[in-house]
Chain A
Amino acid sequence: MTGIVALYIFMLAAFTGYEIIAKVPVILHTPLMSGSNFVHGIVLVGAMVALGGAVTPLEKIIGFIGVLLAAGNAVGGYVVTERMLEMFKSSGVKKSGGGH
């Protein structure tokens, strides 16, 4: 990928992120922050490549820490976001249930 194409990707992705968040109601700010926290867990694939290419012991140690932390970011981010959003799903059901 050439530098200028990478720059275009950067620009378009930045506008995409802005647009996605701009219309979000306040009630979803915390789950969404948690969700975006999960999304940057994609650093895991970079950490895997870094450790996969590590040769010296120092590279291996740092790479191992990187993969460990990245996996924690991705998995932890998913679990807490999913737990939070799970609570929002049955609101309609509870509303009709409360009126019996």
Chain B
Amino acid sequence: MDSAMDTPGIFSARLLIDISYFVTACLFILGLKRMSSPVTARSGIVWAGAGMAVATLVSFLYPGMSNYELIIAAIVLGTIVAWWSGKKVAMTDMPQMIALYNGMGGGAAAAIAAVELYRAAYANAAGAPVHHSTVVMSLAVVGGIIGAISFSGSLIAWAKLQGVINKTLRFGGQKFVNGALFLGSLAVGVIVVLHHGADPLHVSLIFGLALLFGIAMTLPIGGADMPVVISLYNALTGLAVAFEGFVLDNAAMIIAGTVVGSAGTLLTQLMAKAMNRSLANVLFSDFGSGGGASTTAVTGSMKSIEASDVGVMMAFAQKVIVVPGYGMAVAQAQHKVWEMCQLLIERGVQVKFAIHPVAGRMPGHMNVLLAEAGVPYDLISDLDEINAEFETADVALIIGANDVVNPVARTDKSSPIYGMPILNADKAKNVIVIKRGQGAGFSGIENALFFLDNTRMLYGDGQKAAAELVNAIKAVG
């Protein structure tokens, strides 16, 4: 086997690797392109997967590699755990799972940087000649810092969405502490670059401070903002991978990492825009603290209604718009809701689903959850398409959604969600809200919609309520 690596073999192995990486880069870009349309999306991930398989296999041919048994053991172990967890995770928990896998990528990029930097540091301490140029050292340090932040930050994001951590840690001078951690990591990084690796202690300090910064920066961010943060860390991991690609002279890593870095940045901006917040606002404001004290008092009372009455109302309606939220998916009610809608459609009622850009836990998450229940995507409309239609709807059925239908976003300038685009469900002739209890939404803000004259509350668990509605519509005959 060694003979194939030596003398003329080095050239051909290297060439094969370069050509394979080129093919991989093409497959990644074409795959992502195909993923941007619902029709071709599934083949897109298969194409990208093929690219990944090719790149991984040829990487075993790198000249001068050793530790094959360790490499194979790590790949097998990582594959088994990730495969099992990825197959098992519920669709509702998808955002935190993406955060977890993303953090792993960031950690891997940081690990590459760590190997290179420790090697340089030990060589420097032993008085060996300089191995890397200043540019390469700088890229290793920056990529390592970004990767480490993405790693620890993503783990916190996962823990928060998973409910492992449900406290939002805030204290005075927090921004100062965070800034000090980040600048400290960067400053030690500069020392390491200038001194050709300095010593191992300095290298450890870079990563220690960067990891702490990732934790400290993510802890104060509220759960509602977490998808934006996950998307940001996704972009950061891409960037870290690209930087380490420069260090290793690996074109596949540079291209794939950069594409993800820029695509992820744009996706992050789109998500922040959908919530009418700037990225800086998400990262550095105290929104989502659960106080909600700034809202003006809501007048009126909530009026409840029975499922049988709602069934009759919808059965004789011309047009029903369903506004699903994350609460519906948590209650696993989407299948029953779709069953109910099919009954209505059979009766000649026009049924549409209105999806807010941040319904679910991230843009498009609700579409995935509805697709899982079998709802065809031509019945699903987004905010811009559907908002004018609420005025002509007889019934708007709100199930599990809250902040995204709160009219104070249009009217109350003192509200933290003022200016956020909302679904104008309050304009429908009748508004039915299926809700478990009388509590406030994810953001902790009281919902003025619940107190309107044309609103009726159907209290109960989402799945049970939907089942009752199915029976009620059947009873109408």
Contact = CB atoms under 8 A, between A and B. Distances in A.
Contact of B82 (A62, A75, A91): A75
A10 B74 contact: no
A69 B380 contact: no
B86 A69 contact: no
B255 A71 contact: no
A38 B45 contact: yes
Interface string B83-106: 101110101001101101110110
Contacts of B31: 35, 39
Interface in B14-44: 21, 24, 28-29, 31-33, 35-38, 41-42, 44
Q: Is the interface of A mostly helix, strand, loop or mixed?
A: helix
23 contacts: A13-B259, A17-B263, A20-B32, A20-B259, A28-B37, A30-B98, A31-B35, A33-B362, A35-B31, A37-B105, A40-B256, A43-B257, A45-B59, A48-B71, A54-B67, A62-B118, A65-B111, A66-B108, A70-B104, A72-B79, A80-B89, A83-B87, A87-B372
Contacts of A3: 135
A40 B98 CA distance: 12
Contact of A33 (B105, B253, B264): B264
Given A67-B78, A72-B78, A27 B244 contact: no
Contact of A20 (B29, B135, B367): B29
Contacts of B168: none
Most buried by A among B59, B73, B85: B59
Interface stretch (B212-220, B234-242, B295-303, B305-313): B234-242
B115 A13 contact: no
A39 B237 CA distance: 11
Contacts of B378: 91, 95
Given A29-B270, A37-B102, A42 B36 contact: no
Given A59-B115, A66-B115, A49 B255 contact: no
A18 B234 CA distance: 14
Interface in B231-279: 231, 234, 237-238, 241-242, 244-246, 248-264, 266-267, 270-271, 274
Given A17-B260, A18-B263, A85-B41, A45 B252 contact: yes
Interface residues of B, number: 117
Interface in A8-48: 9-10, 13-18, 20-48
Interface string A45-62: 111111111101011101
Contacts of A43: 105, 108-109, 112, 237, 241, 244, 253, 257
Interface string A75-97: 11111111111111101101100
Nearest to A27: B367
A31 B367 CA distance: 10
B364 A35 contact: no
Nearest to B70: A64
Contacts of A16: 29, 259, 262
Given A25-B38, A28-B35, A66-B114, 4 more contacts: A30-B363, A31-B368, A45-B56, A46-B112
A78 B49 contact: yes
B110 to A, nearest CB: 8
Nearest to A15: B262
Given A32-B36, A67-B71, A91 B371 contact: yes
Contacts of A98: 342, 345, 376
Contacts of A63: 67, 70, 111, 115
A50 to B, nearest CB: 4
B342 A68 contact: no
Contacts, number: 374
B27 to A, nearest CB: 10
A85 B35 contact: yes
A86 B42 contact: yes
B114 A62 contact: yes
Nearest to B269: A21
Could you say which of A37, A44, A65, A95 has the most chain B C-beta atoms within 10 Å of its C-beta? Answer: A37
Given A21-B266, A50-B248, A80-B86, A88 B371 contact: yes
A50 B115 contact: yes
Contacts of B45: 35, 38, 78, 81-82, 85
Contact of A44 (B56, B261, B263, B355): B56
A52 B83 contact: no
B60 A35 contact: no
Identify the 9 closest CB pairs spanning chains A and B, nearest first.
A71-B78, A66-B111, A79-B86, A52-B65, A76-B82, A17-B262, A70-B108, A13-B258, A73-B105
A24 B245 CA distance: 27
